[in-house]
Amino acid sequence: MAIGFIGLGNLGSAIVKRLLDQKEEVKIYNRTKSKVEHMGLDIANSPKELVEECDTVFMCLFESAAVENIFEMQNGILSADLKGKTIIDLTTNHYEKVLTFHEKIEKKGGNYLESPIFGSVPPALQGALTIVTSGKESTFELCKPFLQKIGKEIFYLKEKGKASKMKLINNLCLGSFMATIAECTALGEACDINKSELLKILGVGGGQSLVLKGKTQKLIDEDFSAHFSNSAIYKDLHTLQDLAYSMNQPLYTAAIPKELFGKMKKEGKGEEDFCSIYKLFK
């Protein structure tokens, strides 16, 4: 039986390609059908139709509001018979909203696995994503073979909501690292240090990180086509601050990167890759 997939943005499309490379049959649903017709895949007319024809359905959407829409819309997921069906949600969800997603799917007799992914387009194409999952252990074990087709490192945090919180914490590192790398790059250029040489030195020195490794060539080429957008990291850091506020936990290093990515979005660069924050410093 085909795997269902909802959400064919940059990352979702890369994951679908990986599943196809793994010889999986994939059927898709996308809000705008014309945007995915070129993929040559079987396209469902609604989320309900997709769930009815696929036992396992992945979702990879921008935010919780989009997930809720897929659930609640006319002919949405919740209008289908969900008994025996499993939803694997790769979306970076709000830590509170995701609890309602577990509840709604389970109430209808389905299985829901909260599975935010760490990584962008290149690791998705290689099956090298990191995935953190929360939900029933039986659902996790059921879904693990599918997750292993797209992920290299897979972690299970049983309590519902914890995977979503972990993803936000990870993205604090991601956003902070990117802002610092971008500022170092611009400062080095101002010191008349060749950018390629500068990034090479940082890559074996204090700047050594997966973030720098992944963004070095994009910074050299000033290629800001999106693997992970400014809008996405801005949204995640905002949600992280919501989490910290709810815990009465001050955050010190999250505020400035969040506002820098917010400025990029305000300047109309929200859909550029988040390494384009470099332009603010340059």
Give the closest residue to 123 by CA, choosing from 275, 223, 26, 17.
Answer: 17
Give the closest residue to 135 by CA, choosing from 116, 113, 154.
Answer: 113
Give the closest residue to 7 by CA, choosing from 69, 83, 52.
Answer: 69
- Check whether 34 has a pLDDT greater than 90: no
Question: pLDDT tier at 81 (50, 70, 90 boundaries)?
Answer: very high
Q: How distant is the alpha carbon of residue 268 from its chain centre?
A: 21
CA angle 57, 19, 17 (to 5 degrees): 110
Catalytic residue selected from 85, 104, 167, 215: 167
Tell me the CATH number of domain 164-281, given options 3.30.530.20, 1.10.10.10, 1.10.1040.10, 1.10.8.10.
Answer: 1.10.1040.10
Cβ neighbours of residue 187 closer than 8 Å, sequence gap 6 or more: 281
Across 27-56, average pLDDT: 91
d(CA 221, CA 236) in angstroms, rounded, equals 27
Question: pLDDT tier at 223 (50, 70, 90 boundaries)?
Answer: very high
Q: What is the 3-state secondary structure (H, E, C) of 203-248?
A: HHCCCCCHHHHHHHHHHHHCCCCCCCEHHHHHHHHHHHHHHHHHCC
- Tell me the pLDDT tens digit for each residue of 158-191: 999 999 999 999 999 999 999 999 999 999 999 9
Domain spans of the chain, in order of start: 3-160, 164-281
Task: Name 207's bridge partners.
Answer: none
Question: pLDDT tier at 38 (50, 70, 90 boundaries)?
Answer: confident
Q: pTM score, two decimals?
A: 0.93
pLDDT the model gives residue 231: 97
Give the type of residue at 208: Q
On the question of a common fold for 3-160 and 164-281, the answer reads no
Active site residue 167: yes
Tell me the CATH number of domain 3-160, given options 3.40.50.720, 3.90.550.10, 3.20.20.370, 3.30.70.360.
Answer: 3.40.50.720
pLDDT the model gives residue 13: 94
Task: Work out the burial of residue 79: count CB atoms within 10 Å of its CB; fewer than 13 is exposed, 13-18 middle, 19 or more buried.
Answer: middle
Q: What is the mean pLDDT of the chain?
A: 96
- Tell me the pLDDT tens digit for each residue of 83-94: 999 999 999 999
